[in-house]
Chain A
Amino acid sequence: MTPAQRKRLPIRFALYALLALLSAIFIFPFLFMLASSLKGNDAIFADVESLRAVLPVGDLTLDNYSAVFQRGNIGHFLINSVIITVVTVALGLFVNSLAAYALARLEWRGKQAALVVLVVLLAVPLEAISVPMMLLVTKLPGLDFSEGIALTRSWLDTIYVQIIPFIANAFSIFLFYQFFRDIPKDFDEAAYIDGATPFQVYRHVIVPSSIPVFATVTILQGLAMWNQYLWPVITVPGEEARPLMIGMQQFFAARRVEWGEVMAYASVITVPILLAFIFFQRWFVRSVVGSGVKG
């Protein structure tokens, strides 16, 4: 090691120490959650003063988990969340990318105005319109499937009230639009010369060249739909169509001091997401950067 490198060692050491400290701050809550989910209340209480609080050691039990599955109805809510997320994202990819294609590649009369409107809509946060949106959906005629098909008076308490309003998404359209604009027009023009229709150009030229932005939108929209809270809390009071996050909140409100059970519920929700994140970390990172840098 050269003297110059030796001189810098203490700095490197300090930096690593800082990184380790910060990492601990970010990891400890998870460990605490996982460890406590495996302990009964007595064990939690006993371990509280020591490092054992974050470690899954000692008197471990799976009772909390069985309570969650039995009492918490978590399986049903999980399925609801999956349906909501998958359907919204899948339809959204199609609808939003088509609209972005129309904006980026086709010429039509209202295009400039539509772009301006899009940018304005980008600034509208969901929170600001949730209340009036809720009134809107109570006035919309809905479908009740419990006995054949019947018209009901509102959309509340359904799966589709959590899906339909979110299929069209200004931010997704914007991301697609930015990406499509950067694809060289030569490909389009070659396809047109070969006799393709606009939809065929979309399908065979644009979409295959856009895998990264499709991945980005999938991840961002998927996460947003999976983690949704504000909207279902005001539009889905019942249990039938309840998504996972509301399930967690209800369970927490009901079983507040049963920390072991609450942590077990939280763990069941968290661990799959964490695993997905660990495997697809690069894609997650790219999505965030792609969405933020363009702003």
Chain B
Amino acid sequence: MSGAVARGGGTGRAAIWFGAPAFIGLAMFVLIPVLMSLALTFTNQRLVSPDPGEFVGTENYQRLLSVSYLVQSPERDAAGHIVTDSAGEPLYARARSITRTDPTFTGYRPMTEYRWGDKRVSILAKDPEFLRSLVNTFLFALLVVPLQCSAALLMALLVNAGLKGQTVFRGIFFSPVVMSMVIVSVVWAFLFDKDLGLFNTILSAVSFGAFQPVDWLGNAHTAMPALAIMSAWQGAGFQMLILLAGLQGISQELYDAAKIDGANAWQRFWNITVPGLRQTITFVLIVTTIAALGLFTQVDVMTQGGPQNATSTVMFQAIQRGVREENIAYGSTISIVYFGIITILILLQQAIQRRRARLNA
């Protein structure tokens, strides 16, 4: 690039002009919000309020992330026997009364509880809804990532198998990706309907009537899995294309050589396809996970976090608290925590890539 270097000054000035709009835009609408967000988390600023926020230190973080536990022994009667309830289970003092009165537990509320021998261990948190949403978000990721990625791999293998009409099939599998998640949510809300939904109808038909209709979105145990199925359906086509590109990058000669060496289809898959796809698969897994952790639209449209917070996610909480309940400082805190989780994942991915590059060298 001797010409441009020789003109150092000229192109330097041009570069500033060329890059300015984009970089100003990025600075204003990406960089500044991140910094603002960070600053806000240490205040108690509200969204619309005449008062400016006050500095509150790490109070927001404490409230968000504080977790504790309470161990209780069962109640005993005067003779020292364990008092049981009508179901035969030991009775314990109400955790709530303890948290409300005991000064070491101010601000905490019970979240869940477990039995440990004859003791009861209660997990307490200052913001149980948020922690619940954190668990839900990871649960969702745990459900959707394997489902979506294995479906994508299966479809990529099928489309690449050299059968007739593969362009048509590829188009069919990819078509949900171009749909807006809002549309997909609305249609699947219909599909999941207890009485009119196609989902229940097909399951009934396939099981010859043994299957009872389920209110998928109204049942706390089935709501998240239902969202996972729907999200995998919408997104699998995207990963399929990426995996397909990876598959097509594997030389056919490798498969020929393996055939001559005596490998059957399964052995060829494990020894050529899988290693050849390793990098692509890692990329797909990480990208899908990061996208899954940002779950918002489906929840907002279909379930609004319910039933009983079963589908509340981190982003949903961020919007709910930060915007709808106007506690912008707290909403920012949630956003920062979310950002932190994503960043850790990305750094993990880069570390894996670097390690792999070193191993191969």
Contacts and interface: CB of A to CB of B under 8 A. Distances in A.
Query: Do the two chains touch directly in the complex (Cβ atoms below 8 Å apart)?
Result: yes
Interface stretch (A56-64, A127-135, A208-216): A127-135
Contacts of B338: 127-128
A260 to B, nearest CB: 10
A18 B154 CA distance: 10
Contact of B18 (A12, A15, A198, A233): A198
Given A19-B163, A33-B187, A98 B343 contact: no
Given A107-B11, A134-B323, A96 B188 contact: no
A273 B31 CA distance: 33
Interface in A273-287: 273-274, 277-278, 281, 284-285
A110 B238 CA distance: 36
A24 to B, nearest CB: 9
A53 B158 contact: no
B158 A22 contact: yes
A192 B4 CA distance: 8
A128 B342 contact: yes
B297 interface: yes
A131 B335 contact: yes
A28 B63 CA distance: 46
Nearest to A109: B12
Interface string A118-134: 00010111011111111
A220 B10 CA distance: 34
A115 B154 CA distance: 37
Contact of A270 (B183, B195, B294, B301): B183
The size class of the interface chain B forms with chain A is 35 or more
Interface in A232-267: 233-234, 245, 248-249, 252, 259, 262-263, 265-266
B290 interface: yes
A127 B294 contact: yes
Interface stretch (B20-28, B54-62, B90-98): B20-28
A259 B5 contact: no
Given A22-B155, A99-B23, A273-B179, A136 B33 contact: yes
Given A128-B338, A129-B335, A233-B300, A107 B33 contact: no
B14 A197 contact: yes
B65 interface: no
A125 B290 contact: yes
B260 interface: no
A167 B210 CA distance: 54
Given A252-B189, A289-B245, A136 B30 contact: no
Q: Report the 5 A-B pairs with minimum CB-CB distance, sorted nearest first.
A: A168-B25, A99-B22, A132-B37, A227-B180, A292-B242
19 contacts: A12-B163, A15-B158, A32-B191, A102-B19, A107-B15, A127-B296, A131-B318, A131-B331, A168-B26, A223-B178, A227-B180, A229-B301, A230-B315, A248-B186, A252-B301, A259-B196, A269-B180, A281-B167, A295-B283
Interface of A: 12, 15-16, 18-19, 22-23, 25-30, 32-33, 36, 44-45, 48-49, 53-54, 95-96, 98-99, 101-103, 105-109, 111, 114, 121, 123-125, 127-136, 138, 164-168, 170, 173, 185, 188-189, 192-193, 197-199, 202, 223, 226-227, 229-230, 233-234, 245, 248-249, 252, 259, 262-263, 265-266, 269-270, 273-274, 277-278, 281, 284-285, 288-289, 292-293, 295
